Amino acid sequence: MGWTLVTAPTKEPVTLPEAKLHLRVDGTDDDDLINALITTARVHVESITRRKLLTQTWDYTLSDWPCAAAFKLPFGNLQNVTSVKWKDEDGTETTLTPTTDYLVETNGSECGRIVLPYGGTWPSGTLYPSNAITVRYVCGWTTDENVPYPIKAAIKLLLTKLYESRGEDTVGAGQTVHEDKTMLLLLQPYRLWDF
């Protein structure tokens, strides 16, 4: 079981102007740095919450069909499933047909699922020994406006820490360790516990 990024998000949940306003930066000298730190902060927040924030495409691989009639897809906010493919022992790939072979439950901001239709079964036969099943899907909120503000606030907190320290953390002289705790508290309600 694993996942691979196919298409990265084309924008960030916090824009450069929003970040510069938050950081109280007026000039353009640090724009490239700030953009890089926005991405770094977003990736860290995605890791903590176990979800992907804005539209991106992923491949989720499994070694075997589940025993149950459904399985979850990681990262929440499932938009759609592009394909479900499986390989037999010879490596011959077969694409399953939506609505006939499987159904998709998007489940809002929670983890989506691939579900067998009533009375359906997973394909039989010997599967390829590695990554036999691949589900390609799109997940994440569709626009940055849909990303909840507490998540954006956590990104801004981390962005500030990354921008201002640019090196080793020090405690004292105005530097506090409360930022990390605050960030975790902001993200707590949005964490997915399924993966």
Tokens of 164: 């201002």
Q: In what order do the strands lie in the sheet with 78-87?
A: 2-7, 56-62, 133-139, 78-87, 93-95
What is the pLDDT confidence band of residue 174, given thresholds at 50, 70 and 90? low
Instruction: For residues 143 and 153, give the distance between their C-alpha atoms in angstroms, rounded to a whole number.
Output: 16
Hey, which CATH number is domain 2-53+144-190, 1.10.3230, 3.40.50, 1.10.287, 1.10.3470? 1.10.3230
- pLDDT tens per residue across span 106-161: 999 999 999 999 999 999 989 999 999 999 999 999 999 999 999 999 999 999 99
pLDDT greater than 50 at residue 176: no
Q: Contact at 8 Å (CB) between 81 and 98? A: yes
What is the pLDDT confidence band of residue 9, given thresholds at 50, 70 and 90? very high
Q: Cα torsion at 149, 143, 70, 90 (round to 10°)? A: -130
The residue whose two tokens read 């691939």 is: 114
What is the pLDDT confidence band of residue 165, given thresholds at 50, 70 and 90? confident
Q: Which of 107, 134, 120, 140 is nearest to 68 (CA)?
A: 120
Hey, is 16 helix, strand or coil?
helix
Q: What pLDDT is attached to residue 116? A: 97
Hey, is 59 helix, strand or coil?
strand
pLDDT greater than 60 at residue 177: no
Element (H, E) at 108: none
Report the Cα 107 to chain-centroid distance in Å: 15
In whole numbers, what is the pLDDT of the chain averaged over residues? 92
Residue type, 25: V
Instruction: For residues 155 and 40, give the distance between their C-alpha atoms in angstroms, rounded to a whole number.
Output: 9
pLDDT greater than 70 at residue 170: no
User: Which residues, at least 6 apart from 14, have a Cβ–Cβ distance to it below 8 Å?
Assistant: 22, 38, 41, 42, 144, 152, 155, 156, 159
Q: Which of 119, 124, 110 is nearest to 69 (CA)?
A: 119
- pLDDT tens per residue across span 65-117: 999 999 999 999 999 999 999 999 999 999 999 999 999 999 999 999 999 99
Domain with CATH 1.10.3230 in the chain: 2-53+144-190
